[in-house]
Amino acid sequence: MKDTAKHQGLRNQLVALLKGKGITDASVLEAIGKIPRHLFLESGFENYAYQDKAFPIGADQTISQPYTVAFQSQLLEVKKEDKILEIGTGSGYQTAVLCALGAKVYSVERQSELFKKTSVLFPKLGVRPKHLSFGDGYKGLPLHAPFDSIIVTAGAPFIPKPLMAQLKIGGRLVIPLGEEVQIMTMLIRKNATQFEKHEFGEFRFVPLLEDKN
């Protein structure tokens, strides 16, 4: 579990790259500059950790490319103490970024292998999500709702209704929508029944699966 000056140098390069790709949120860039992404990957991939690429992490899942993590985080416009629901803990890297932004993170993972891994990893790295849950992301976490924002880190064929219901008025839901290729979509809740929809171009994610394994 080492984080060296060399790793920090690679992170600084990654931050510069993300700036060049249009990420402007200073706090998101700072979080990415701080978090040791190599510790969220299998050791065999360590040398690639600071490239702007997605990598396999087990259970047929991937760690999203840093640009995607930064882009989704920027769309959320995270404020300190925001209560955020994350659907798909995965490697835990996105969770760590949200925690570094000062959010209270409630994260759900449906793959038991990944859930167990992050449950052990987070305390070692000093990452403190408010709540980690093993379950079906389509259902959200009704007991902890409502949320200031919701982030979905897997491609979904449609927007799950329970997630819309668990969003505060004024809150943001960021979700990649589509089958093969996804359109990054943001819903802003205007009132009890109305949502404003924004689309931000194509991304590629592993599919959001229903029911836990």
Q: What residues are paired with 82 via a beta bridge?
A: none
**Measured in whole angstroms, how far is the alpha carbon of residue 30 from the centre of its chain?**
16
Considering only CA atoms, which of 142, 143, 144, 164 is closest in space to residue 152?
164
CA distances from 14 to 41, 49, 97, 201 (A): 16, 10, 14, 22
Strands (E) in 74-166, as ranges, are: 83-87, 104-109, 131-134, 147-152
Whether 64 sits among the annotated catalytic residues: the reply is yes
Catalytic residue among 27, 43, 64, 91: 64
3-state secondary structure at position 10: helix
Active site residues: 64
